[in-house]
Each structure stands twice: as C-alpha cells, then as structure tokens.
Homo-oligomer: A and B are copies of this chain.
C-alpha cells in the first residue's frame, strides 16, 4: 500500500470553458502538474533527474470519472495521487481531484505512465533504485 500525496492547484480563468466550468481536458493538466510537483516534493526524484538519466515518462492510458463541476469561484483544487503498482516499464497511479473548500471529489481516475529511454524512444524497465525510492 503506497502513500497518497497532495498538491494544491490554483484555478486560472483560462481553464474555464463556455459552460462556466473548468474544461474537461484541464483536469489532465492539473494531474500532470500534481505529478511533477510530487515527484520533486514527495518522491525526491524530480522530472529533471529522470531526464538527466536519459529517461522520460509518457501517459499510456487514462480513465477519469467527472463527478462534480469545478468553478472559478472554487479558487483551488487539491490533487491527490497514489501509486497502485509498478509493472515493468509502467506505473499505475490512482488520482482524485477535490474541491478545496469542502474536500468533495470533483473527479477521480487512474493513469498509467510508461518510462521511456529518451535515446531510443522505447519503453524501458523502471530501474530498481527508482522503484525503491517510489516505494513509500
């Protein structure tokens, strides 16, 4: 059972669409922001470190349930993520996006990320030391 980490994100006016809600694709951008933040803040291996070591991460699949709209007036959301499992070149991550006021879940889902070698562009098994450091 892995730890859950949290990042608070400020909603920007340009995130709002013609329905006066945060646009559905922006949820994926909030998730990305949260993972970047948590890689550095919580796992202590920032994205830059992966890049220096010749690795990168790509999203390989994603599922999301939209439960409540997010409004500009909500000001911020909290994005919580938790690793579900490592498997070869992949990691599966659960996520929840919450309205900051009331901690109600606005959306939740699961994202699969694949580690690739920046030289070959091909999936590469996540090195043991990284798996160890993420096993928190």
Contacts and interface: CB of A to CB of B under 8 A. Distances in A.
Contact of A60 (B25, B32, B59, B65): B65
Contacts of A23: 14
Interface residues of A, number: 33
Residues of A contacting B: mostly: mixed
Contacts of A89: none
A31 B72 CA distance: 16
A20 B103 CA distance: 29
A61 B58 contact: no
A61 B64 contact: yes
A16 B13 contact: no
Nearest to A27: B25
